[in-house]
Structure 1
Amino acid sequence: MVRYLAAAALAAILTSPLVLADTPTCGPGKLCPQEAPCCSQYGQCGVGAYCLGGCDPLFSHQLDSCVPAPVCQTADYKLESLDDVKSIDTYLGDASKINWVSQGQPVTYNNALLLTMAQDTVGTLLASTHYVWYGKISAKLTTSQGQGVVTAFIMMSDVKDEIDFEFVGVDIGHAQSNYYSQGVTNYNNELNLTVSNTVQNVHEYTIDWQPDTLTWSIDGTVLRTLKRADTWNATANRFDYPQTPSRIMLSLWPAGLSSNDIGTVNWAGGLINWNSQYMQNGYYYAMVQEVNVQCYDPPSGANTTGSKSYVYNNEAGTNNTVAITDDVEILASFYATGENPNYNPNAAASGSKSSGAAQATQSLETVPGMSGGGNRGAVLGLLVL
């Protein structure tokens, strides 16, 4: 099955005329510059929200350019309203006050949240503010339907370890299970799991992620098991096993756009029909009722000096380079970074705005997936995803 990583597909979708010509990019062998130090999941550099969830420390200016990631929180999230959801362009990193960040247009309906995707948008993404470093994560949801339409429930780390449930809109009788290590696509990792009508029926999809085993379950029945020991990569000299703190992501996105790679379009069942019978009130939608998180203990031998955040202490980006600390940083503005979290060009000592500082920073990208990272239409969903 030919397919692109969610982040890569998103990046392609998000590319738009709004992207500044001088927006720096990042990736293997190319770190972000000091003035725009944070590498987003879309491979572009910026400040502010670029330095929060999804900030890739391996390709940022330095490891601490990204803000420390809030530790796992055991909780049962009843997604009945938007009270616990904050738009990505208003969230500065205080995970003690909000549990979900959105891009795109989530709406409430019948005590649940709808992830919507109208024409000329790239859908909706809901991402947790707290990370999970091993745990049992369940989501009760229904999917969207139609060619080119993809619903996803995934775990994604900042160094692009990934665990997936994905639902292609032309196949409502299967959930695609998949995993990746540090963003390296392996088409042999995908396995279809049989399930009854994903559009009409609410199912509970569960990822049970432990240091040595990973299972995918539907409605309490384990349908796939992966053992870490079976993922050894002798060439890279490491296990190709998801092993780093990850955010929970729920999204609806248009894989079937003509601007996407033909392999992605074919995987998604073809080009999207924006006049489809499966659209309601002008948009495609998927419904999420509830997300449950049970945190597991950190792996044996973890570098633990605190209990509040996860940080990386080495560019390898593997299990043994993650530390648990008491570092907590809330950005003072969308021009702040992990390196300089208190920076606010509009908070002059006199109390008046500093026009000079504002002009000096106005060319910096501050919110990935909306301008520099791409445009999700009115709002973006993932992720570009």
Structure 2
Amino acid sequence: MHVILYILLGLMAGSALAASDPPSCSTSKSCPKEYPCCSEGTCGTGTYCLGGCDPRMSYSLDACTPKAVGQNRTFSWPNLDNAALNTKYLGNASESDWEYSGSPKLKDGNIILTMPKNSVGTLVSSTHYMWYGKIAADVKSSRGKGVVTGFILMSDVKDEIDFEWVGSDLENVQTNFYFQGITNYRIDEILTAHLKFPDTNGDKLSTSDNTYSSWHHYEINWTPQAIKWSVDGTVKRTLTKKSTWNATANRYEYPQTPSRMQLSLWPAGRASNAQGTIDWAGGEIDWNAADIRDHGYYSATFANITMECYEPPAGSGDGHRSYAYLDKKGLESSVLVTNNNTVLPDMGHTGLNMGTGNSSSSSSSGSDSGDGPSTTSTSSKSGSTEFVQYANNAPGQVPQNVWLAAVVLLFSMIIS
């Protein structure tokens, strides 16, 4: 009896340790089936399987949920009713235009991203994805060394196109692009530690006046052939797809997969960050600067945000609701436009066992919403076991049903 008791206690302790230390993931290490979705290098269920879930590193291609196809929109902010906290968003893009972390605020119909003292800032992401198109916004950036504002297109396989404002340089805006997150650092800059830009994909564009005190209009026009960055109606930079050819890898290293729009304010100059990042951001953040003392936070303001979606590439499927991946190459040819559901029943589910999603809220929104249950499917869903929810438990906390089952089993064995 004592042996069984020790074994059960050991298993329970092991479960606690496992819950506090979720599996990691990378291009060389996929997630396990119990926590099949890879998001930002960590495996899990629920929210891990939604926006940002990387199919290349997940347990299988269908562990990540399909993503809602974008619509032409001009976004207004009378309130935050159209935005969901990222820990509560379940994939229903009909109910929420945005998901967010941090503490966004509203003023005069505009959205303000805030970064209180010692926080990690605010990130707001569109719930619809676009596969080529145009995004635009009027922006007043934040200010201060180490403080960075971002206006970004980001795909689940880390294709990225961005504007970034470094708070110590208010006369310029930086532009960058990445293919699957691959960086190309300049050797001369690494040796001299003078990081003019993070890597060779970056470029700096001048503005007519201060980016913090004055509104400027920024636009990214993304097509299969080229990317154009515009400031106040003038094209300031153009990148062609053909210029990104990598003969060694035999591919174009060009952003080419469905992406969501992101607005961000983040502490690049946080003391715990890599020194190169801190140097690029102008130095460490002053958490006692005037903005913190006077307002309680650093801030950046966005207005007149628009999304215009172009037609998907030819031969990419005849669906109209969601995007799904066919292979782990992460290329344009890897993506299919489907009619598949995008909604999880709860945070314990994954793309492997989505069920019917939120049928009550999505059925009234129309078939073009990209969410809710579908009558047709172009990809199979494997697995039927409901995985233990990890995302809703604090670090070190074992889900309640696991503890309850263990206690009941232990008690029954003791009294017998």
TM-score (normalised: structure 1): 0.84
Aligned mates of 1:298, 1:343 — CA distance in 2? 26
Aligned mates of 1:33, 1:273 — CA distance in 2? 41
Contact 1:150 1:255 survives alignment (8 Å): yes
Which runs of no fewer than 5 residues in structure 1 stay unpaired?
1-17, 345-356, 373-385
Deviation at 1:110, TM superposition (A): 2.0
| 3-state SS of paired residue (1:189) | coil
Deviation at 1:318, TM superposition (A): 0.1
Deviation at 1:130, TM superposition (A): 0.1
Matching residue of 1:342: 355
Question: Is 2:179 the partner of 1:181?
Answer: yes
Q: Does the C-alpha gap of structure 1 residues 28 and 366 become closer, same or farther in structure 2, counting only changes over 3 Å?
A: farther
Q: Does the C-alpha gap of structure 1 residues 371 and 183 become closer, same or farther in structure 2, counting only changes over 3 Å?
A: farther
Question: Is 2:321 the partner of 1:308?
Answer: yes
| 3-state SS of paired residue (1:192) | strand
Partner amino acid, structure 2, of 1:152: G
Contact 1:23 1:365 survives alignment (8 Å): no
Q: Does the C-alpha gap of structure 1 residues 233 and 248 become closer, same or farther in structure 2, counting only changes over 3 Å?
A: same
Partner amino acid, structure 2, of 1:90: K
Matching residue of 2:298: 284
Contact 2:34 2:388 survives alignment (8 Å): no
Q: Does the C-alpha gap of structure 1 residues 254 and 371 become closer, same or farther in structure 2, counting only changes over 3 Å?
A: farther
1:152-301 alignment to 2 at 5 Å? 152-186=150-184, 187-195=199-207, 196-279=209-292, 280-299=294-313, 301=314
Q: Does the C-alpha gap of structure 1 residues 283 and 291 become closer, same or farther in structure 2, counting only changes over 3 Å?
A: same
| Higher RCO (C-alpha 8 Å, min separation 6) | 1
Aligned mates of 2:395, 2:146 — CA distance in 1? 24
Aligned mates of 2:98, 2:304 — CA distance in 1? 12
Contact 2:139 2:301 survives alignment (8 Å): yes
Aligned mates of 1:76, 1:39 — CA distance in 2? 31
Aligned residues: 337
| 3-state SS of paired residue (1:188) | coil
| 3-state SS of paired residue (2:75) | strand
Contact 2:115 2:299 survives alignment (8 Å): yes
Contact 2:146 2:283 survives alignment (8 Å): yes
Contact 1:336 1:343 survives alignment (8 Å): no
Question: Is 2:346 the partner of 1:319?
Answer: no
Deviation at 1:111, TM superposition (A): 1.6
Aligned mates of 2:308, 2:391 — CA distance in 1? 35
Aligned mates of 2:55, 2:23 — CA distance in 1? 16
Contact 2:347 2:391 survives alignment (8 Å): no
| 3-state SS of paired residue (1:201) | coil
Contact 1:144 1:199 survives alignment (8 Å): yes
Partner amino acid, structure 2, of 1:156: M
Matching residue of 2:7: none
Aligned mates of 1:60, 1:216 — CA distance in 2? 33
Deviation at 1:278, TM superposition (A): 2.9
Percent identical = 47
Which runs of no fewer than 5 residues in structure 2 stay unpaired?
1-16, 185-198, 358-384, 397-416
Partner amino acid, structure 1, of 2:311: D
Aligned mates of 1:226, 1:31 — CA distance in 2? 33
Per-residue CA distance 1:203-256 (angstroms, 9 max, x = gap): 111000000011000111100001001100112111010000001000000011
The list of structure 1 runs, each at least 4 consecutive aligned residues, that deviate by more than 3 angstroms after superposition, is 18-21
Contact 2:348 2:388 survives alignment (8 Å): yes
Deviation at 1:329, TM superposition (A): 3.0
Deviation at 1:343, TM superposition (A): 9.7
Aligned mates of 2:392, 2:24 — CA distance in 1? 14
Partner amino acid, structure 1, of 2:125: A
Aligned mates of 2:109, 2:391 — CA distance in 1? 36
Question: Is 2:145 the partner of 1:139?
Answer: no
Partner amino acid, structure 2, of 1:296: Y
Aligned mates of 1:52, 1:237 — CA distance in 2? 30
Cα-Cα RMSD: 2.1
Aligned mates of 1:278, 1:147 — CA distance in 2? 12
Contact 2:216 2:231 survives alignment (8 Å): yes
If each structure's helix is expressed as a fraction of its own residues, which one has the higher value? Answer: 2
Higher Cα Rg: structure 1 or 2? 2
Contact 2:322 2:342 survives alignment (8 Å): no
Aligned mates of 2:342, 2:27 — CA distance in 1? 27
Question: Is 2:343 the partner of 1:330?
Answer: yes
Question: Is 2:378 the partner of 1:365?
Answer: no
Deviation at 1:21, TM superposition (A): 4.0
Matching residue of 1:27: 26
Q: Does the C-alpha gap of structure 1 residues 123 and 19 become closer, same or farther in structure 2, counting only changes over 3 Å?
A: farther
| 3-state SS of paired residue (2:105) | strand
Deviation at 1:305, TM superposition (A): 2.7
Partner amino acid, structure 2, of 1:65: A
Aligned mates of 1:265, 1:341 — CA distance in 2? 41
Matching residue of 2:100: 102
| 3-state SS of paired residue (1:120) | coil
Aligned mates of 1:232, 1:213 — CA distance in 2? 13
Matching residue of 2:400: none
